[in-house]
A = this chain, B = another copy of it.
């Protein structure tokens, strides 16, 4: 009897969105493919079952209709290809001695339930007491690395700096707050987040204060929180908050431009930055960055984080991620929560 062919479910990109991705109907951004046959394993390959999916604002850029292919730092996702995503997966069949069945790995699973991977591209995750595997998609994965890279390397935050972080309740922002306050020891850390509850959570993480950008008094609250101006701004959101922050920077202030989520779903009508003169008059330095330029440091930074966790400087427990149990059919719906501002910490899809 011939061996049974393994099949997979996959969410494919159906149409590149210009504004908010669309979940249903004829203009839907994604489409579901069932019973997709997978190739048989070659030597060095593994068959994995996806357990968790990483949800990242950057994914919106990979399917953008507005960004030309040669202006993106990775190849864009092609229409009819599986939606790209990092995942944590379990090895269910193996032709690689290094990867036993049952091992838990980090992998470029994309939005699939089963996939064939090259074992050497799928590091087996170490077991760290008290930390679930999903944290390797967040604090101990590229999210934590992004926070560390941007804050410590790109703008070189020091103890004498006051730091503002937007998207402070998000995956990256909540790590920046902790690294700034507890690892670097910055003299002042101010968060910006989208609800009073989130703000209190960000303060619990270590921020001296966190201000709610949806409040009517946001502008005044931010001015008060940044009295005397600040040396460093870690920008996860772009748009109007970035524009306002240009007016709150000290002379020779530094901005780490990490993301601009506020504009990701309004590509056809982007918000325009108006306070540009501040960049000149106050000699502000702005540095865009992408974590892929820093992946070679992953292990080194992971070790720093593990030590910081042991020393009580970094909290990456369950309240630092929002894990959403999701049926395969609802993967896009869970991903869209990124843009609805619902999550605190890393948004994780649990299949």
Q: Is A79 an interface position by the 8 A CB rule? A: no
- A263 touching B277 in the complex, CB below 8 Å, given contacts A251-B73, A271-B272, A272-B272: yes
Q: Is A67 an interface position by the 8 A CB rule? A: yes
Give CA–CA (A251, B149) in the complex, Å.
18
A-B contact pairs, 7 of them (CB 8 A): A73-B251, A73-B283, A258-B280, A270-B274, A272-B273, A283-B287, A283-B288
A113 to chain B, nearest CB (A): 30
- A71 touching B278 in the complex, CB below 8 Å, given contacts A285-B287, A290-B283: yes
**Band of interface residues on A:** 35 or more
User: CB-nearest residue of chain B relative to A247?
Assistant: B71
Contact partner, A289, options B258, B259, B283, B287, Cβ 8 Å: B283
Give CA–CA (A67, B276) in the complex, Å.
11
Contact partner, A288, options B242, B258, B273, B281, Cβ 8 Å: B281
Q: Is A260 an interface position by the 8 A CB rule? A: yes
Within 8 A of B (CB), among A236-279: 238-239, 242, 247, 251, 257-260, 263, 270-279
A67 cross-chain contacts in B, Cβ below 8 A = 277, 281
User: CB-nearest residue of chain B relative to A262?
Assistant: B276
Please name the 4 residue pairs, one residue from A and one from B, whose CB atoms are nearest each other, closest first.
Answer: A272-B272, A279-B288, A273-B273, A270-B274
- A280 touching B290 in the complex, CB below 8 Å, given contacts A71-B247, A247-B71: yes
A interface list, Cβ under 8 A from B: 61, 67, 71-73, 238-239, 242, 247, 251, 257-260, 263, 270-290, 293
A257 cross-chain contacts in B, Cβ below 8 A = 276, 279-280
Starting from the known contacts A263-B277, A272-B273, A280-B288, 13 additional A-B residue pairs (CB-CB under 8 Å) come to: A67-B281, A73-B251, A73-B281, A73-B283, A242-B276, A271-B274, A273-B273, A273-B276, A280-B289, A281-B288, A283-B288, A283-B289, A283-B293
A284 cross-chain contacts in B, Cβ below 8 A = 288
Give CA–CA (A258, B276) in the complex, Å.
11
A279 cross-chain contacts in B, Cβ below 8 A = 257, 286, 288
Judge whether B272 and A260 touch: CB under 8 Å.
no
A73 to chain B, nearest CB (A): 5
A276 cross-chain contacts in B, Cβ below 8 A = 238-239, 242, 257, 260, 263, 270, 273
A281 cross-chain contacts in B, Cβ below 8 A = 61, 67, 71-73, 288, 290
Judge whether A285 and B283 touch: CB under 8 Å.
no
Judge whether A71 and B282 touch: CB under 8 Å.
yes
A247 cross-chain contacts in B, Cβ below 8 A = 71
Give CA–CA (A109, B258) in the complex, Å.
46
